[in-house]
């Protein structure tokens, strides 16, 4: 039975999906905490609140400072560095670090890449720990019957991004649109991307339930985003049983492990795809996406730590 009141609070500007990865993950984390029997409030302090999880920098800093002074444990969820994946200077990352120094008791990074990249920039955060994101298993799960691309005839590829920032991989997807053998491959892009394509089918952003259905209709996930600390889109695809062909950048290698192949430039992608198709079941057996139940428990342990 859940404790009465609101012992946990999440501070985040929530949006109705489809929206960015942090929003998707925190919605799933809230549902999983509630499923595990915890009371969870959003953007308000309950009478019995024990700890607050605040995300990145989108919050009322004065309010957080007051809550911290009242003895509530403050846990800061940090991604980025934002300057690395947005291609900007580090002023916003410095602001996040300054806020962390002022009010945080502990910090959750979503990948080792993110933690170490901040260290390289000279930013040391309060009591850091690494906990990856995870997808909601009620939505993102493998198909009941997994198809083999060797039997299907045409190998179905899919990419996903809610942002049209060029660093999300558009140049690689355009190269593939021009150079892949589309007698062997069918390619779907879901989300936002600038420009048009000759062969790649572009599907506008869809909600999580529809996205999960789309992912399960494909064989291999392709992602070319740069310096992405912990791609929710990648985790959702892995959770749906799709091996990944990914740019060797950011947290991608940590998430995929032996469940796919990495590339350094667009010209390497066709070879990676051929290898994954050839050894498809082996790569699929290598999939080990993070469990939301486990991730939620690890977050909870950080939240209630004395």
Residue 143 lies in a domain: no
pTM: 0.91
Q: What is the DSSP string of 150-172?
A: HHHSSEEEEEEES---GGGTHHH
Q: In this structure, is residue 217 part of a structural domain? A: yes
Is 183 part of any domain? yes
Q: Are residues 125 and 180 in the same domain?
A: no
Contact call for residues 79 and 230 (beta carbons, < 8 A): yes
Of 103, 94, 92, give the one whose Cα is nearest residue 52.
103
d(CA 164, CA 243): 24
Same domain, 90 and 218: no
Instruction: Examine the domain organization and report whether 275 and 229 are in the same domain.
Output: yes
In a domain, 144, yes or no: no
My answer on whether 115 and 169 are in the same domain is no
pLDDT tens-place string over residues 235-278: 999 999 999 999 999 999 999 999 999 999 999 999 999 999 99
Shared-domain flag, residues 91 and 156: no
Q: Kindly report, residue by residue over 187-207, the tens digit of the pLDDT.
A: 999 999 988 899 999 999 999
Assign 255 to helix, strand or coil.
helix
Residue 17, domain CATH: 3.40.50.2000
What residue numbers bound the domain in which 224 lies? 149-285
Number of domains present in the structure of the chain: 2
Give CA–CA dist 281/141, Å, rounded.
Answer: 17
Are residues 119 and 154 located together in one domain of the fold? Answer: no
Q: Is residue 215 part of a domain?
A: yes
In a domain, 154, yes or no: yes
> Considering the domain boundaries, does residue 121 fall inside one?
yes
């Amino acid at each position: 039975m859940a404790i009465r009141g609101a012992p946990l609070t999440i501070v985040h500007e929530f949006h109705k999906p489809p929206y960015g990865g942090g929003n998707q993950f925190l919605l799933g984390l809230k549902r999983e905490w509630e499923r595990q029997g915890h009371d969870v409030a959003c953007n308000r302090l309950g009478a019995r609140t024990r700890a607050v999880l605040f995300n990145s920098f989108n919050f009322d800093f004065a309010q957080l400072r007051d809550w911290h002074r009242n003895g509530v444990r403050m846990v800061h969820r940090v991604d980025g560095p934002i300057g690395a994946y947005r291609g900007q200077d580090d002023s916003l990352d410095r602001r996040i670090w300054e806020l962390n120094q002022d009010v945080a008791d502990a910090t959750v990074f979503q990948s080792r890449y993110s933690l170490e990249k901040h260290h390289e920039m000279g930013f040391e955060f309060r009591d850091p720990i690494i906990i990856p994101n995870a997808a909601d298993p009620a939505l993102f799960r493998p198909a009941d019957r997994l198809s083999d691309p060797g039997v299907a005839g045409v190998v179905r590829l899919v990419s996903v991004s809610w942002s049209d920032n060029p660093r999300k991989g558009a140049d690689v997807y355009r190269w593939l649109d021009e150079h892949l053998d589309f007698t062997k491959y069918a390619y779907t892009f879901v989300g936002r991307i600038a420009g048009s394509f000759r062969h790649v089918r572009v599907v506008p952003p869809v909600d999580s339930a529809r996205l999960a259905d789309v992912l399960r209709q494909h064989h291999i996930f392709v992602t070319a985003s740069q310096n992405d600390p912990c791609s929710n889109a990648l985790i959702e695809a892995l959770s749906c049983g799709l091996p990944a062909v990914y740019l060797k950048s950011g947290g991608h290698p940590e998430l995929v492990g032996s469940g796919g192949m990495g590339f350094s430039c667009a010209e390497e992608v066709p070879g990676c795809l051929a290898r994954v198709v050839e050894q498809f079941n082996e790569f699929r057996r290598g999939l080990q996406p993070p469990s939301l139940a486990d991730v939620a428990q690890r977050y909870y342990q950080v939240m209630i730590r004395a």
